Amino acid sequence: MATAIGGPRVLLRQLREVMAEPLPSQERLDKIVDLIAVNMRTDVCSFYVLRDDGALELFATHGLKLESVHLTTLRLGEGLVGLIAAEAEPLALENAPAHPAFAYRPETGEDPFNAFLGVPVLRAGQTLGVLVVQNRDRRVYGEDETEALLTTATILAEMVATSEFDSLIKPGSDIDLRRPRTFAGASFTDGIALGQVVLHDPRVVVSNFIAEDTDTELRRLEEAIRTMRVSIDDMLEHGDMQPSSDHREILESYRMFAYDRGWVDRLNEAVRNGLTAEAAVERVQNDTRARMQRQADPYIRDRLHDLDDLANRLLRVLTGDHEGIRFKELPENAILVARNMGPAELLEYDRTKLRAIVLEEGASISHVAIIARSLGLVAVGQAENIVSMSETGDAIIVDGPAGQVHLRPTPEVEQSYVDKVRITAKRRAHYLALRSRPSVTQDNVEITLLHNSGLVADLPMLNDTGAVGVGLFRTELQFMIASKLPRLNEQIDLYAEALRIVGDRPIVFRLLDIGGDKVIPYMRSAVEENPAMGWRSLRLALDRPGLLRTQVRALLMAANGRPMKILVPMVTETNEFRQTKLVVRKELERLERAGQRVPERLELGAMIEVPSLLFELDQLLPEADFVSIGSNDLVQFLTAADRANPRVAKSYDPIAMPRLRVFRHVVDMAKRFNVPLTMCGELAGKPMEALALMAIGMNRLSMGPPSIGPIKEMILGLDLEPIRRSVAAALLEGSDGMPIRELLTEWVERQNLPIA
Ligand code: PEP
Ligand code: MG
């Protein structure tokens, strides 16, 4: 086997010299392929660039006919070069022409070459081109040579991505990684936002690729790996991260990779080949990202994501950039881009500057999405691979209703959105004009529209939407944004402020619903396998009555004589509701004894969101002053499908017959016991779903403020009775009939209802 002259380190040093020379791009590239060929003792070295149109164009060669440069092209997947680009994997062959994918191009004069080694030129998981060496002899390229070529490819990728070759690029052959991109994701909110990307986990930009001194770089790498391992071990031991099992699982996975010999060996190998420690991390990360993009198995994909995150962590240690920009100032019109984030993390940002969030994962009823809506942010989820393709500062447009994201939009796209925003503003003005119209259908059915809210800051929106009041105030959100547990007086002030803002309009305060994915940073809880079904919400409150008592006391005192409505979340058995009533009664008596004002009327309601409760509504309803369906949880538990996991949640339509029958059962029971019923899950804010709910007789709907306008507009045009009859018949008929959603779609068309 031929050995390289001086090895890859010498080659990289020579490359650095070539890059420092003031040469025209083509000349520089020609020199680079010459250097590689000479250093690696190959007869040929060619560099193909992947153009925007999917063609791989020969950009430079040593050893093939020079006339074929910028002439020879191969399609993605065509020939060996196309195969490497498509698979993003190296390919070494002893006898290339015998390979079934071999595509002969006469103009290159490729005939005499048998041995072939090609590697993808990757950056941020994207294939930018292919680097190939060839030899006349039939020979087997060793792993060392593949490594060396991959290392060289890292440098080339950097040159391509930083537009080193701009002057070579012909019109229509835009190879810029930073070209405009559109992502089709899932809609989490309405609204359109134009702004600039802020990466939630900022990527570290590596600028110095070629090592001055390899031993120093090896030491730096070793030191950084040690620091990173200590910090991960530390987090696992002290539970510094959020104590949900998801985070623990991720950390465990980080730890596994951090100690993985294979990964560390690959990093060391890349440094030994002449890269700096940072560049070595990026080089190994490239492989990971490329594999990630081709990986269909969600489990493996997640693990590759973890490995990618870990590499980013290592880069931060190496560059000393531990914090990133997360806690720093946000620019105006900031649009957060993240793989995923918890609701508490979102609340850490300066909300006055934030316009939108874009996630690679998430589901529209995950709490982060709910909070985004409550903050009036535009949100899109499931925008695959957006993190690796964006940079902080990139222009970005988030189209909420379409679930689309335009990264680095063209001026045309941007203009069309500027127009759309203008139209949206008009629509908003239209909804604003509806705010004082009573919410009554054409056939005189009154539908009460209420807000879901959770932050005092979003309560003034009541004035814009004309909603009757607040059907659900999620008190835990205020706890999530606080840095420490709010004391009694702080809680009183907060609830009093909420009451002051809503004035005469009703507001339903829901008792703390923490746990699951709603993590309170300063309250540590044990790690659980299944946090959504774990020690959360009312269960936690009844076990820790101190917290519950303080909150109830604060609510009663904040009322200062005015009426008060308190809602109890996650009731699993009527008995738990009774226990809560007891706590409330005791606090009331305590207040009376102290000679303080008690609410002129106190109503206590229960949330119906745990299936078990459905079977003892006859016990619960006589005890409750009102009830509220939490469809987000109820549907997740009915279908055994995690509300935050779109992979499963999307399979079960919440208004399909079984779920709608459940809701109707609650409606019927509430009527029978004459107890007011509200729907406060996210369903109520979606037009088609809201229509289904109205059709089964639900006439109190509580939703995120931006949904009020569109739902009200639909109500105003609606002739409900015939739809009621038709849905009732469908529910009777069972699964033989038309699916409910299709049935409703027909009605929407027939009545020409304004549903987007
Ligand atoms: C629900 O579960 O539907 C609900 C309204 O509560 P949350 O989304 O806060 O769990
Ligand atoms: Mg709930």
Number of the ligand 1 atom closest to the C-alpha atom of 472: 5
Low-confidence residues of the chain: pLDDT under 50: 1-3, 170-175, 240-245, 324-327
SS3 content of the chain, % helix, strand, coil (to 5): 50, 15, 35
Q: Does residue 516 have its Cβ closer than 6 Å to ligand 1? A: no
Ligand nearest to the Cα of 634, by number:
1
Phi/psi-derived region of residue 305, left when phi > 0, alpha when psi is between -120 and 50, beta in every other case: alpha
Distance 439 CA to ligand 1 centre (A): 24
Distance 537 CA to ligand 1 centre (A): 11
Ligand nearest to the Cα of 370, by number:
1
Q: Does residue 632 have its Cβ closer than 6 Å to ligand 1? A: yes
Number of the ligand 1 atom closest to the C-alpha atom of 633: 2
How far, in whole angstroms, is CA 109 from its chain's centroid? 49
The pTM for the full model equals: 0.64
Number of the ligand 1 atom closest to the C-alpha atom of 630: 3
Give which of 374, 327, 339, 336 is closest to 355, Cα–Cα. Answer: 336
Distance 476 CA to ligand 1 centre (A): 11
CB 93 within 8 A of CB 113: no
Distance 258 CA to ligand 1 centre (A): 37
- For 90-107, the three-class secondary structure string (H helix, E strand, C coil) is CEEECCHHHCCCCCCCHH
Which residue has its alpha carbon closest to ligand 1 atom 4? 630
How many C-beta atoms lie closer than 10 Å to residue 282's C-beta? 26
Q: Vertex 298, ends 292 and 300: CA angle to 5°?
A: 55
Distance 222 CA to ligand 1 centre (A): 47
* One-letter amino acid for residue 40 of the chain: M
Distance 609 CA to ligand 2 centre (A): 6
pLDDT tens digits, 273-310: 889 999 999 888 887 777 766 667 767 776 777 777 78
Q: Does residue 454 have its Cβ closer than 6 Å to ligand 1? A: no
Number of the ligand 1 atom closest to the C-alpha atom of 474: 9
Number of the ligand 1 atom closest to the C-alpha atom of 680: 5
Distance of alpha carbon 273 from alpha carbon 133, whole angstroms:
18
The total number of residues shown for the chain amounts to 756
Q: Does residue 474 have its Cβ closer than 6 Å to ligand 1? A: yes
Q: Does residue 633 have its Cβ closer than 6 Å to ligand 1? A: yes
Distance 697 CA to ligand 2 centre (A): 22
Q: Does residue 513 have its Cβ closer than 6 Å to ligand 1? A: yes
Q: Does residue 125 have its Cβ closer than 6 Å to ligand 1? A: no
Number of the ligand 1 atom closest to the C-alpha atom of 629: 3
Number of the ligand 1 atom closest to the C-alpha atom of 516: 10
Number of the ligand 1 atom closest to the C-alpha atom of 628: 5
CB 694 within 8 A of CB 677: no
* C-alpha distances in Å from residue 656, one per residue of 349, 647, 750: 38, 18, 21
Give which of 54, 59, 8, 53 is closest to 35, Cα–Cα. Answer: 8
Q: Which residues pair with 594 in a beta bridge?
A: none
pLDDT tens digits, 180-189: 888 999 999 8
Q: Which two tokens stand for residue 162?
A: 């930083």
The residues, ordered by sequence, that sit 6+ positions from 77 with a Cβ below 8 Å of its Cβ are 83, 85, 86
DSSP notation for 371-427: HHHHTT-EEEE--TTHHHH--TT-EEEEETTTTEEEES--HHHHHHHHHHHHHHHHH
Q: Does residue 537 have its Cβ closer than 6 Å to ligand 1? A: no
The residues, ordered by sequence, that sit 6+ positions from 732 with a Cβ below 8 Å of its Cβ are none
Distance of alpha carbon 117 from alpha carbon 92, whole angstroms:
4
Q: Does residue 702 have its Cβ closer than 6 Å to ligand 1? A: no
Decide: residue 526, CB within 10 A, 0-12 exposed, 13-18 middle, 19+ buried.
exposed
What phi, psi does 717 have (nearest 5°)? -100, 5
Distance of alpha carbon 103 from alpha carbon 110, whole angstroms:
10
Which residue has its alpha carbon closest to ligand 1 atom 8? 632
Distance 633 CA to ligand 1 centre (A): 6
Distance 472 CA to ligand 1 centre (A): 9
Q: Of the residues 470, 473, 512, 513, which should be mutated to test ligand 1's pocket, given the most ligand atoms within 8 Å of the CB? A: 513
Distance of alpha carbon 42 from alpha carbon 50, whole angstroms:
23
Distance 446 CA to ligand 2 centre (A): 26
Q: At what angle do helices 277-294 and 298-319 cross, to 10 degrees?
A: 160
- Helix or strand (DSSP H, E) at 669: helix 657-672
Number of the ligand 1 atom closest to the C-alpha atom of 682: 3
Which residue has its alpha carbon closest to ligand 1 atom 3? 630
Count CA atoms closer than 13 A to 393's CA, side-chain side. 3
Going across the sheet that includes 186-187, the strands are 181-184, 404-407, 395-399, 192-199, 334-338, 354-359, 378-381, 186-187
Distance 473 CA to ligand 1 centre (A): 11
pLDDT at 239: 52
- Helix or strand (DSSP H, E) at 604: strand 602-608
Distance 25 CA to ligand 2 centre (A): 60
Q: Of the residues 364, 470, 632, which should be mutated to test ligand 1's pocket, given the most ligand atoms within 8 Å of the CB? A: 632
Distance 451 CA to ligand 2 centre (A): 15
Kindly provide the residue ranges of all beta strands, DSSP E only, lying in 164-314, ordered along the sequence.
181-184, 186-187, 192-199
Tokens 């962590």, residue located:
313
- Residue 552: DSSP 8-state: H
Distance 644 CA to ligand 2 centre (A): 12
pLDDT at 170: 45
* C-alpha distances in Å from residue 608, one per residue of 574, 623, 671, 674, 714: 11, 13, 15, 16, 27
Largest CA distance in the chain: 102
Q: Does residue 476 have its Cβ closer than 6 Å to ligand 1? A: no
Which residue has its alpha carbon closest to ligand 1 atom 1? 630
Distance of alpha carbon 713 from alpha carbon 693, whole angstroms:
16
CB 456 within 8 A of CB 501: yes
The residues, ordered by sequence, that sit 6+ positions from 454 with a Cβ below 8 Å of its Cβ are 371, 374, 473, 474, 475, 476, 477, 478
Kindly provide the residue ranges of all beta strands, DSSP E only, lying in 165-256, ordered along the sequence.
181-184, 186-187, 192-199
pLDDT at 162: 64
Give which of 542, 559, 641, 553 is closest to 589, Cα–Cα. Answer: 553
Ligand nearest to the Cα of 654, by number:
1
Q: Does residue 343 have its Cβ closer than 6 Å to ligand 1? A: no
